[in-house]
Amino acid sequence: MKKFQRIELYLYFMVLSGLLLWDVFAISWEAVRLILPVHIIISLILLPASVIPFMLSHRELLHRSNRPVKIWTGHIFEVLLWSFLVSGLYLFLVGNTGDLIGRVAYWMHLWLTFPLTVALLCHLGRRSCFWLRSEAPAYRAVLASSLNFSRSRWFSLKQ
């Protein structure tokens, strides 16, 4: 697995664990007591250790790129990630105390999840680890068995 795919999976894990903490899902307090510390500890360790250095070293590529989609989504992703960092640190150090700043930090941390995920997927495009690749034999086998294709018919349909 390539470095950017590890970072992509890390970010999706953080998105998923953060969304599970949202009141809409109404998970039990026992689960929240487990998920919240894991979400905080992993973000405090992996964000400064891997994501931020990768993002800063990746900046030069954005300036040299001639693909406008990569440039725009990269910049949008960077702004969103720094917003996450600021709001997450505020929530970790101060918490959501119910005042205006606490609520803004909470909602900003929550709602920026969706544009961040879209920006990441658009930025990575086909390089994302979630795209089904035709050269991956495991995907072909799972799809062939689930769609009831015979092996010879599946390989004849291959593009």
Tokens 């998970």 correspond to: 27
Q: How far apart are CA 47 and CA 54, in angstroms?
A: 10
- Distance (Å, rounded) from C-alpha 94 to C-alpha 152? 61
| 21 and 39 Cβ atoms separated by less than 8 Å | yes
Segment 86-140, tens digit of pLDDT: 999 999 999 888 899 999 999 999 898 888 888 888 877 777 766 645 444 444 4
3-state secondary structure 78-104: HHHHHHHHHHHHHHHHCCCCCCHHHHH
**E-strand stretches of the chain:** none
Q: What is the pTM of this model?
A: 0.70
